[in-house]
Structure 1
Amino acid sequence: MQIAELDGLAVHYRDEGDPKGPPVVFANSLGTDLRLWDKVMPLLPQGLRYIRYDKRGHGLTEGTPQPYSMGTLVRDAEQLMDHLGVKEALFVGLSIGGMIGQGLAVKRMDLVRSLVISNSGMKIGVPSMWQDRIDAVNASGIESLADAVMERWFSKSFRATPELTAWRNMLVRQTADGYAGCSAAISGTDFYTPTSGLRLPVLGIAGTEDGSTPPDLVRETVDLVPGSKFALIRGAGHLPCVEKPEEYARILTDFIKETGHA
């Protein structure tokens, strides 16, 4: 178990692969921990350094009182990469992780060489929607939202499999402060202008059955960056790395090779 003490916050992470290889950093979605990428990791190229971490209030990373700002979450990623001596990384962010990646790429060009915005957007939802979810979590816990979240996360066929139970359990075991705090960070974020100023290789990944960040939102976001690419995974919801890991890994591997990161 690897823990980094970052400005008083204990952050859980995994640092795997070739320690001298080009770095790839993964940031998870709201309500998940670093196991989100378990199915994809064995399918990715050897010779690279793969770093995953639990964001604030999720998994085994400490939580702090809500609300959080996106700037705080970006700073957590920044401090972890500085702590590990990582520069010029491919940053792969899913959902809120994709927002963290956009913010980090704008703030620290030395840290992010290329960016994957997976099932995310420059802006997700509206503040009133997020406030309703924050209120529900604070009043009745994450359990009160769990069934609706599963419908947004996964396709109908995946929801019929026994594996759904594990992902539902992962969701409800996050801290209320972590879930509501990160919800507040999403609510307060609109990266339209900053992301439109990015000039680096960008790949957008979307799932046709995504009820949280539909393909049109992902495409609209990556289209802000000249020369960006877009990949659509059919039959997958908000977490295509879970539902379609082979296809997700192939798309990511192709991007790694195309950008000369391998």
Structure 2
Amino acid sequence: MHIANLDGVSLHYRVDGDPDGAPVLFANSLGTDLRLWDSTLALMPKGLKFIRYDKRGHGLSSMPPGPYSMGALVTDVERLCDHLNLRDCVMVGLSIGGMIAQGLAVKRLDIVRGLVLSNTAAKIGTPEMWNERNAAIQSGGIEPLADGVMERWFGKAFRATPEMALWRAMLVRQPVEGYTGCSAAIAGTDFYTPTSGLRLPALGIAGDQDGSTPPDLVRETVNLIPGSRFHLIRGAGHLPCVENPVEYAQTLTTFLKEIGHV
């Protein structure tokens, strides 16, 4: 385990793969930690350097007082990249991680040379929706919402497996302040204009049973970037890297090869 102390926030991160390989940076979703990528990374080709981290308020990272802004979440990973001297990364972001990836690419093209926008969008939901959800969580905790979240996260077949209980447990053990802090960041974000100005290799990944960011929303966002690609994983929900890591890793690997990153 590694901790980077970055001007008011401490981020837990880990580095796997070839220390001299081309860097691939991963940012996970709301209510999960960096273990989200375990199954996918086990299937990726050798010769790459994989960096992943827990955003503020999640996993083993620190939890500054909320609410958070998307700018703060982007600055956190920017400082982590500078701390690790990372340049010319392909950044893979899922859900809020995809929003962070868009923000970092707009801000620091020296860090991000390619984007994978997985189960995400330039704008997710409405401020009213997020504010209502946060109010419910602050009064009653995450547990009452957990079953509904599982229906959005996973397809029907995966919800019938024992493994789903592990992800449900990860969600309900998530600190309320970290969850609502990052939810506030999503509520305040609309990246349609800045993302439409990006000119870099980009791949969109969606699950056809995703109840949080449906495929059309993901496609609409990635289509803002000229020349982008799109891949639909059937039978998967919001976390296809968990439900179908084989197809997910194959899709990532193909993209990395196409853009000369591996």
Superposition TM-score, scaled by structure 2 size: 0.99
Structure 2: distance between partners of 1:142 and 1:76: 25
Structure 1: distance between partners of 2:99 and 2:248: 19
Identity %: 69
The one-letter code sitting in structure 2 at the alignment partner of 1:15 is V
Structure 1: distance between partners of 2:86 and 2:167: 30
Match of 2:143?
Answer: 143
Structure 2: distance between partners of 1:81 and 1:133: 32
The secondary structure found in structure 2 opposite 1:40 is helix
The one-letter code sitting in structure 2 at the alignment partner of 1:254 is T
Match of 1:33?
Answer: 33
Deviation at 1:136, TM superposition (A): 1.1
Match of 1:224?
Answer: 224
Structure 2: distance between partners of 1:15 and 1:49: 7
Contact map agreement 2:17 2:48 (CA 8 A) in 1: yes
Structure 2: distance between partners of 1:124 and 1:10: 27
When structure 1 is superposed on structure 2, of 240-249 and 141-150 the one drifting more is 141-150
The secondary structure found in structure 2 opposite 1:43 is coil
Paired residues for 1:7-156 under 5 Å: 7-156=7-156
Deviation at 1:150, TM superposition (A): 0.4
The one-letter code sitting in structure 1 at the alignment partner of 2:154 is F
Paired positions, count? 262
Deviations 1:130-179 (A, max 9, x none): 01111011111111211110011001111111011100010111111110
Match of 1:178?
Answer: 178
The one-letter code sitting in structure 2 at the alignment partner of 1:129 is M
Contact map agreement 2:8 2:64 (CA 8 A) in 1: no
Paired residues for 1:182-261 under 5 Å: 182-261=182-261
The one-letter code sitting in structure 2 at the alignment partner of 1:174 is Q
The one-letter code sitting in structure 2 at the alignment partner of 1:143 is E
The one-letter code sitting in structure 1 at the alignment partner of 2:205 is I
The secondary structure found in structure 2 opposite 1:67 is coil
Structure 2: distance between partners of 1:9 and 1:73: 10
The one-letter code sitting in structure 1 at the alignment partner of 2:214 is P
Q: Which runs of 5+ in 2 are unaligned?
A: none
Structure 1 runs (4+) greater than 4 angstroms displaced: none
CA RMSD of aligned residues (A): 0.6
Structure 1: distance between partners of 2:147 and 2:136: 13
Structure 2: distance between partners of 1:110 and 1:66: 29
Structure 1: distance between partners of 2:68 and 2:35: 23
The secondary structure found in structure 2 opposite 1:19 is coil
Structure 1: distance between partners of 2:45 and 2:83: 24
The one-letter code sitting in structure 2 at the alignment partner of 1:59 is G
Deviations 1:46-79 (A, max 9, x none): 1111001000000000111111000000001101
Deviation at 1:239, TM superposition (A): 0.1
Deviations 1:211-244 (A, max 9, x none): 0000000000010010000000000000000000
Structure 1: distance between partners of 2:197 and 2:222: 11
When structure 1 is superposed on structure 2, of 210-219 and 10-19 the one drifting more is 10-19
Q: Which runs of 5+ in 1 are unaligned?
A: none
Deviation at 1:8, TM superposition (A): 2.8
